[in-house]
């Protein structure tokens, strides 16, 4: 599970130390035949360009190609380049920067708060409920009411 | 919750549409031998990486606009 210090690629000096060097690595790759089709497929599937750029730079950081700082700096250029490729190919893509406000969506914190309040109030309510039930007389058994079934009215029908 | 750093990195560049419009070049007056010495335009010395990135994004976006306007 653990490794020696320097045993991982990201623990060693990066291959590309500046933004320009990193971009010289990325941009030819983005336009290469191997990656190009996969990129267009991902765009058509609706994967946001920001997500694609983020995963690209994270992978490169893990491979020890550049540092996180350089990756963060290079990301806007990668996103813009992806958008350029999408526009050039005539594909409708999502950048991922659009703010979607879903009014029906309740935030996790609000749900947690409501649950906490419920947990606090529920035992009290249950106790009060039991007390009231004990005070009340037992209910009389309810007779089953049988609805009048329609009588068969045919000539051959049995008469009751 | 927005956890993607790419979104922040991209939106924090704050590139406006005005920046994408190319300013018309000034006339080539003052090139003659008898003309007054022309003041040199200040060069863009983009030393900060963030500024350089902004410049790169601007360049690509201009090209992207050209593609979209051409359609």
Q: What ipTM did this prediction achieve? A: 0.74
pLDDT at res. A123: 75
Looking at the domain assignment, is residue A107 inside a domain?
no
Residue A68's pLDDT band, with cuts at 50, 70 and 90, is very high
The span from the CA of A75 to the CA of A81, in Å, is 10
A127 Cβ partners below 8 Å, 6+ apart? Answer: none
Looking at the domain assignment, is residue A65 inside a domain?
yes
Looking at the domain assignment, is residue A81 inside a domain?
yes
pLDDT at res. B21: 74
CB contact (8 A) between residue A97 and residue B7: yes
**pLDDT tens readout for residues B4-61:** 899 999 999 888 877 777 666 665 556 677 777 666 666 667 788 999 999 999 999 9
Looking at the domain assignment, is residue A23 inside a domain?
yes
Looking at the domain assignment, is residue A43 inside a domain?
yes
Looking at the domain assignment, is residue A75 inside a domain?
yes
Looking at the domain assignment, is residue A17 inside a domain?
yes
How many separate domains does chain A show?
Answer: 1
Instruction: Please give the model's pTM, rounded to 2 decimal places.
Output: 0.67
Report how far Cα A42 is from the mean position of its chain's Cα atoms.
Answer: 17
List the domain range (segments joined by +) for residue A60: 9-89
A19 touches chain B (CB under 8 A): yes
Mean pLDDT for chain A overall: 85
Closest to A27 in 3D by CA, of A70, A66, A74: A74
> What are the tokens at A61?
């950081």
Contact (Cβ atoms closer than 8 angstroms) between residue A22 and residue A53: no
Q: Which residues of B touch A76 (CB under 8 A)?
A: 6, 9-10, 13, 53-54, 57
Q: Which residues of B touch A81 (CB under 8 A)?
A: 60
Looking at the domain assignment, is residue A133 inside a domain?
no
**pLDDT tens readout for residues A20-48:** 999 999 999 999 998 999 999 999 999 99
CB contact (8 A) between residue B53 and residue A19: yes
Residue pointed to by tokens 């922040």: B8
Q: What percent of chain A is modeled with pLDDT above 70?
A: 81
Q: Please give the angle made by the CA atoms of A103, A107 and A109, to the nearest 5 degrees.
A: 155
CB contact (8 A) between residue A75 and residue B9: yes
- The C-alpha torsion from A99 through A102 and A108 to A114, rounded to 10°, is 140
> What are the tokens at A104?
């029906």
Q: Which residues of A touch B4 (CB under 8 A)?
A: 48, 50-51, 54, 96
CB contact (8 A) between residue B6 and residue A20: no
Taking the alpha carbons at both ends of chain A, their separation in whole angstroms is 83
> What are the tokens at A133?
């039930």
């Amino acid at each position: 599970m653990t490794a020696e210090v320097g045993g991982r690629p990201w623990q060693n000096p990066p291959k590309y130390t500046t933004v320009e060097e990193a971009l010289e690595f990325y941009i030819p790759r983005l336009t290469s035949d191997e990656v190009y089709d996969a990129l267009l497929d991902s765009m058509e599937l609706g994967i946001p360009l920001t997500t694609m750029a983020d995963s690209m730079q994270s992978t490169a950081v893990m491979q020890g190609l550049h540092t996180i700082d350089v990756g963060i700096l290079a990301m806007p250029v990668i996103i813009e380049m992806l958008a350029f490729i999408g526009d050039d190919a005539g594909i409708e893509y999502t950048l991922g920067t659009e703010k979607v406000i879903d009014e029906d969506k309740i935030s996790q914190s609000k749900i947690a708060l409501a649950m906490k309040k419920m947990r606090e109030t529920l035992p009290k309510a249950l106790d009060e409920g039991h007390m009231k039930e004990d005070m009340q007389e037992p209910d009389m058994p309810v007779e089953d009411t049988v609805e009048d079934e329609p009588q068969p009215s045919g000539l051959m029908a049995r008469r009751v | 919750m927005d956890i993607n750093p790419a979104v922040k990195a991209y939106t924090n560049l704050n590139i406006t549409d005005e920046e994408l419009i190319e300013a018309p070049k000034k006339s080539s007056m003052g090139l003659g031998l008898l003309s007054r010495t022309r003041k040199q335009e200040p060069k863009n010395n983009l030393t900060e990486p963030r500024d350089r990135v902004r410049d790169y994004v601007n360049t690509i976006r201009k090209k992207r606009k050209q593609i979209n306007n051409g359609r």
